[in-house]
Every structure is written in C-alpha cells, then in structure tokens.
Amino acid sequence: MSVVDRQEWDVVVVGAGGAGLRAAIEARERGARTAVICKSLFGKAHTVMAEGGIAAAMANANENDSWQVHFRDTMRGGKFLNQWRMAELHAQEAPQRVWELETWGALFDRTKDGRISQRNFGGHEYPRLAHVGDRTGLELIRTLQQKIVSLQQEDFRETGDYESRLKVFQECTVTRVLKQDGRVCGVFAYERESGRFFVLEAPAVVIATGGIGKSFKVTSNSWEYTGDGHALALLAGAPLLNMEFVQFHPTGMVWPPSVKGILVTESVRGDGGVLRNSDGKRFMFDYIPDVFKEKYAETEEEGDRWYDDPDHNRRPPELLPRDEVARAINAEVKEGRGSPHGGVFLDVSTRMPAEVIKRRLPSMYHQFKELADVDITAEAMEVGPTCHYVMGGIAVESDTAAARGVPGLYAAGEVAGGMHGSNRLGGNSLSDLLVFGRRAGHHAAEYAAGRSGARPVVDDVQIDAAAAEALRPFSAEAETEEPAGGPPENPYTLHQELQQTMNDLVGIIRREAEMEQALEKLAELRVRARRAGVEGHRQFNPGWHLALDLRNMLLVSECVARAALERTESRGGHTREDHPGMDRTWRRINLLCALTDPTGGLAATDPVRGQIALTRETTEPVRADLLALFDKEELVKYLAEEELYE
Ligand code: FAD
C-alpha cells in the first residue's frame, strides 16, 4: 500500500491560468479553503502568452457596442453551435470582469480621454479588445497573482499563516480526479521535481487546465497543453462536447523550422496588416463566404477607409473569423501562390510608420527580429496556419460550470466546451476565463459548503491504483499482459508519431479515409503507450512526465478524430473536404464523447481497455428574445428547417 501525504481542502482548482486563478479567488472570497495546483511555475500558465486582448463590450471606442452585439458576433463566429446561454452570460458579464481587473491593479492601454483602449479583432463588429500592447495575458496573470497574494496577506493577519485559506502547489501534476460514491472526493498528484505523490481531499474540484495543442505537430501552444483536464474528466466519467472543433489560427510563424507554429497575433491584422500571396494580391477579397458577404468590404479602398470611418464602411476581409482566414491561406498555398517557406505574406511595413509598429506591436517586432531576423517595420512576415485552441471540451452546465454527470466536478476556461461553438473569436478566451472562472469558483464553493457535514475521505484502494498507474513507465518491460504486451516504447517516439498523425490526418482539412486511418493509428499508439518506458528515477524526469501525459493526449486525440469523422459537414474549426458545405441540420446536433468499458459499463477508468463512445444529442433551442437580435434572413442561413418553423 502506498503511503502518501493527504491534505484536506474545500475546493481544489487544477490549473493556475486565468480561469484557475479567477476560480480560486472567487472560491476563497466565498469562504472555501482553496488549493490551486499547477504543472508549471506559478505565473507561467498559458494565459501569459495571450497577446491581443480581452473582448468586452464596454463601448469605449464605439458607443454603438453593447452586450447584444457581442453576443451576436460570438454566435456568428461559432456558426450558431455555441451553448447560447454561455455566450449570453459571457457577453453580459465580460465588461464587469475587465473593470474588476482594473480595480485589482491591471494597467490597460488608454484612449486619449483616459478610458480603457479597445482594438479591432476578427469577427468583432466594433473595436472591443481591452489590451496592454500585445502583452495582455501577462498583465492579466500578474493582476490575478497579485490579488491572490493580497488575499494570503489578509489570511496571515487573521490566522498567522499565509496559506491557511489559499495555497498554491506549483510544479505539481494531477493524474487523477478521485471519486467516492459517484461524487468527487479529491485529486491524486505528484511533485514534478521530487516525484513525490500526494492527495488533496476535497468535495469540489475545478478543472482549469487549458487546451490540447501538443497533440499536433505545428502549434502555438506550450508544453503544458497536453489535454490533461479533458482526459481527467473523461476518466472520472464526465463527457466531452464537440471535440471535432479545433482552431487553426491563420497566422503562425513558418520560418525558421525551430519556431514553426509560434503565434503571430491577430492584432497585426486588427491594426491594419494585410495578407498577400506571392503575386502581391490581397487575396482575402476572393474568400468572403456568403454568410458574411454583407458585412465585409468588397474593395481594398473600402476596407482601408473602414479603419478611420467604421460607421460608413465595411471591414476588410482580413478580419473575417479565424477559420475563414486559415482556410483561405491554406488554399492559396495549395494553389502554388504561397511564400518561399510555405506560408503567405503578412505586411504591416507598408501600412504604418515604423515607430507606430514598434509601439503597438512590440512583442511581434522583437519576435521576428530575434527568431527570424526579419524587421517587420521594413519587410513582410511569412505566416501560415497553426493549431491554436480547442473549442470542444468538458460538457458543463452554462450557469454553474458544473461538469455533467459528476457531482463536485467543475470546469472553466479552454478546457470547458460549449461557449465558442464551432469557432472562437479572438479575445473571447480571456473574457471567457474571467466570466466562467468566477462562476466555477462560486458554485464549487457553494457546493463544498453544502457538503461540509459529509467530508469525503479517499480510500486507499484508489490511491494505490493511481500510484501504480503513475509508476508503470518504470516497469514497462514487465508489461506482458494482453492487449498491451510487447517491448518497451520510447515516449518521445510515441509523441512524435501522435503529433504527425494528428497533423497529417486530422488537421485543418479533413477527409473520411484519412480520419479512419488516424483512428487505426491512435488505437495502435494507445496500446503501445501502455508500454511507454523510462529509465532512472522519479526525481525530475521529463521522460516520465511525458509518458504520463501521453495517456491524456491519446484519449483526447481519439475524441477529436471520432467526432470529426462523425460530423459530415464543414463548420467553423472543422473542415471536411468531402463535405465542404455547412449543413443546417447539423446545427441541432452536439457530439458527446465518453469513456466506456468494453463490457458496456459507463465511466470506465482504464485508458487502454476503455473505449471512446460517441453519442449525438439535440442542442437546446436558442431563446426567442436572443434570436430576435438577428435578422430573419440571417437566421435562415444557420438554423435547421424545423427550428425556423418553431
Ligand atoms: P492556461 O492559462 O493554459 O492554464 C492552464 C493551467 O493548467 C496551467 O497552470 C498548467 O500548468 C495547468 N495544468 C495543466 N495540466 C495540469 C495537470 N495535469 N495538473 C496540474 N496543473 C495542470 N486569447 C484571447 O482571448 N486573447 C488573446 O489575445 C490570446 N492570445 C493568445 C496568444 C497565444 C500565443 C496563445 C497560445 C493563446 C492565446 N489566446 C488568446 C488563448 C488564451 O490565451 C488561452 O485560451 C487561455 O489563456 C487559456 O487559459 P486557461 O486558464 O484555460 O489555461
């Protein structure tokens, strides 16, 4: 039997990005003793990398903006597959969350009259992104961290212990959410540096672990994005929603190879940058889809006038939602009109004076200068699509962020599904983190308070099983049991094969035969990953960490491939070459992935023997007053026939 440290908390938040920190602050402020646990150093979450800004209809830059317009843009961007109640709450509450950040010390860029400055972004009708140059995520995390420290100082004054009510466990990885009698009872985790196991017992757990990009070869995401939270939820019995929707950001760096995939922020286009092919043509004018025709400029002159006079001109098509721009770039490269390194050209140098570029896009200036020796004030950048964000995620209740089917489990941020439908608009993630992070913390704390008379105790059997699972890579050669028998495997080789498979066969343009091939390969990798072996010991051993992360990436990748194969239409971040159009009948359908065991029991916990089962579910009809925000002619493009009739 394993002897592991146990600690008791009311709420455990897994993840210290924007969603996790906002959840933790809320839970602690509502009286819950709260633990935050994160894989990397405190403050080094993915949120730090966010560049462009936070979308919130504060109407600082255009007084016509309102939550209703933001809601409309979000639903259009998601091609109406959004969980509409989430989109409504998000649009309504985002401004409060930004103002609240300011009261906690965030220093946003200002307008001339001293209000928070807001910039243009793809798919947003008005300038809506509150920002700090192109380093907004850093300021967001700095502010939330500072708030956490101030709460800890308050606790110190009352209890003499900074960590009595709010404690951060950094550089620790959670490998299992534990359950007792069908309810959450805590998490099993290990310290990355020492390899020491420990258990945090708690009636409520908030998952806020971010995305899945490391399953793909070319990605803007960092090493942490291995789909852990998605897999933890699956293994705990909670379904994932619409995992086929993966966002390929149109503009990642393409050269040199060592930096391929690193993001080039959408602010470059929001601030006036244009896309050209090798013939020098601004090709986006050829790619405006019918659903957006009335909203976008038809000529370069009109598009250019829009920057100064947005009320009397339509926006340029470089600012179409990301899925449209990514597909257009892909098509240009395929037609042989790409740049020398397989992308297209993104140019600000001919659009703005050098000092304006350096002031408004300082990170981009340094990124290209240092990584590619390109001076963006004098020459064009080369860019191409990169795997950036996952719209699919843990299926949650819109108001409470409670994960479906597992009492005590909550999810917020990129790991949660529903909010963004089939495609996320830029800037809508940072606001999502704050709105639903707060809601998750609130409801988790409330739930934990309601269970205070029945504190969960984690039984030893579960701890032993979690410890054995985590230790398996050290005894891979002893693994002979079917179906996993065979020689040990190198986790790095398995990871590379997985990334190549997802990139080539379930990437930006998808085909039935290729996805079937991907599923076969994933099944093979899942069996081989059971034998992922490492040498040495548990003290900081990156190979071991990767071997454990592989379980998660493989489960999540299978969900993406299965759902992508099932959805026989193209919508948002899911493009089928064999089903190129958006099919209105599919608007009514959500796809749910659950882990079942082969004997038919639900919520299997064995990642190699359990199988991903996919079910269809009818989406909830959009509330009438929200539908009334759209023109009837527009709704006809999106809604299924029977919905229009209703
Ligand atoms: P994260 O910030 O990634 O936090 C995840 C946390 O979970 C981390 O602390 C990690 O250590 C922890 N974790 C993961 N697995 C485990 C585990 N097993 N155990 C313990 N801890 C774990 N969005 C916008 O709205 N505007 C932008 O301008 C913008 N720019 C972006 C630029 C880049 C380069 C990228 C990559 C993304 C950008 N996005 C932007 C998207 C946005 O940044 C992310 O979607 C968002 O930050 C996700 O936040 P999160 O809190 O959900 O997750």
What torsion, rounded to 10 degrees, do the Cα atoms 242, 97, 15, 525 define?
Answer: 20
Ligand 1, atom nearest to 389 Cα: 45
Range of lowest pLDDT (215-224, 277-286, 436-445, 482-491)? 482-491
Is the pLDDT at 481 greater than 80? The verdict is no
- pLDDT tens by residue, 25-54: 999 999 999 999 999 999 889 899 998 899
Phi-psi region of 126 (alpha: psi -120 to 50; beta: other; left: phi over 0): beta
Is the pLDDT at 514 greater than 80? The verdict is yes
Note the pLDDT of residue 486.
74
Mean pLDDT of the region 9-34? 98
Contact 348, 271 (CB under 8 A): yes
Note the pLDDT of residue 267.
86
Strands 34-37 vs 54-55: parallel, antiparallel or unpaired: unpaired
Instruction: Find the 211 Cα to ligand 1 centroid distance in Å.
Output: 7
Tokens of residue 493, six digits: 């080789």
Is the pLDDT at 541 greater than 70? The verdict is yes
Look at the pTM and tell me if it is higher than 0.95. Answer: no
Note the pLDDT of residue 252.
95
- DSSP labels for 239-308? PEE-TT-EEEEEEEE-SSGGGTT-B--THHHHTT-EEE-TT---GGGGG--GGGGGGB-SSHHHHHHHTT
Residue 228: other Cβ atoms inside 10 A: 26
Mean pLDDT of the region 313-331? 91
Instruction: Find the 291 Cα to ligand 1 centroid distance in Å.
Output: 31
Note the pLDDT of residue 603.
42
Note the pLDDT of residue 452.
80
Q: Give the integer Cα–Cα distance in Å for 20 and 106.
A: 18
Is the pLDDT at 602 greater than 50? The verdict is no
Residues at CB less than 6 angstroms from ligand 1? 14-20, 37-40, 45-47, 49-53, 136-137, 173-174, 208-210, 220-221, 224, 228, 263, 389, 413-415, 426-430, 433
Ligand 1, atom nearest to 430 Cα: 25
Helix, strand, or coil (residue 410): strand
Q: In the annotation, is 22 catalytic? A: no
Instruction: Find the 557 Cα to ligand 1 centroid distance in Å.
Output: 18
Q: Give the integer Cα–Cα distance in Å for 618 and 488.
A: 44
Mean pLDDT of the region 508-514? 93
Q: Which of 22, 42, 47, 118 to mutate to test the pocket of ligand 1 (most atoms within 8 A of CB)?
A: 47
Q: Give the integer Cα–Cα distance in Å for 469 and 565.
A: 31
Strand order in the sheet with 344-347: 246-253, 381-390, 344-347, 274-276
Supply the residue whose CA is at minimum distance from atom 4 of ligand 1: 17
Is the pLDDT at 609 greater than 90? The verdict is no
Q: Which residue among the candidates 124, 249, 530, 588 is catalytic per the annotation?
A: 249
Mean pLDDT of the region 262-274? 91
Average pLDDT of the chain?
Answer: 93
Is the pLDDT at 2 greater than 80? The verdict is no
Is the pLDDT at 482 greater than 70? The verdict is no
Q: Give the integer Cα–Cα distance in Å for 530 and 519.
A: 17
Mean pLDDT of the region 394-412? 98
Integer angstrom CA distances of residue 434 from 93, 406, 408, 523: 9, 23, 20, 37
Note the pLDDT of residue 565.
97
- pLDDT tens by residue, 146-195: 999 999 999 999 999 999 999 999 999 999 999 999 999 999 999 999 99
Note the pLDDT of residue 483.
55
Residue 510: other Cβ atoms inside 10 A: 22
Mean pLDDT of the region 578-606? 80
Chain-centre distance for alpha carbon 169: 22
Tokens of residue 349, six digits: 């140098």
Is the pLDDT at 333 greater than 50? The verdict is yes
Mean pLDDT of the region 383-403? 97
Instruction: Find the 45 Cα to ligand 1 centroid distance in Å.
Output: 6
Q: Give the chain's largest Cα–Cα span.
A: 73
- pLDDT tens by residue, 562-581: 999 999 999 999 999 999 99
pLDDT band at 644 (very low <50, low <70, confident <90, very high): confident
Per-residue 3-state assignment (H helix, E strand, C coil) for 133-175: CCCHHHHHHHHHHHHHHHHHHHHHHHHCCCCCCEEEECCEEEE
Ligand 1, atom nearest to 20 Cα: 51
Report H helices in 422-541.
428-450, 460-471, 491-505, 512-529
Please report, rounded to a whole number, the percentage of residues in the chain having pLDDT higher than 90.
Answer: 83
- pLDDT tens by residue, 102-133: 999 999 999 999 999 999 888 999 999 999 98
pLDDT band at 600 (very low <50, low <70, confident <90, very high): very low
Q: In the annotation, is 269 catalytic? A: yes
Mean pLDDT of the region 368-381? 95
- Which DSSP symbol is given to 192? T
Contact 12, 37 (CB under 8 A): yes
Give phi and psi for 103, each to the nearest 5: -65, -20
Q: Give the integer Cα–Cα distance in Å for 504 and 561.
A: 12
Of 471, 472, 421, 506, whose CA–CA distance to 86 is shortest?
A: 421
Instruction: Find the 393 Cα to ligand 1 centroid distance in Å.
Output: 14
Note the pLDDT of residue 476.
78
Is the pLDDT at 480 greater than 60? The verdict is no
Please report, rounded to a whole number, the percentage of residues in the chain having pLDDT higher than 70.
Answer: 96
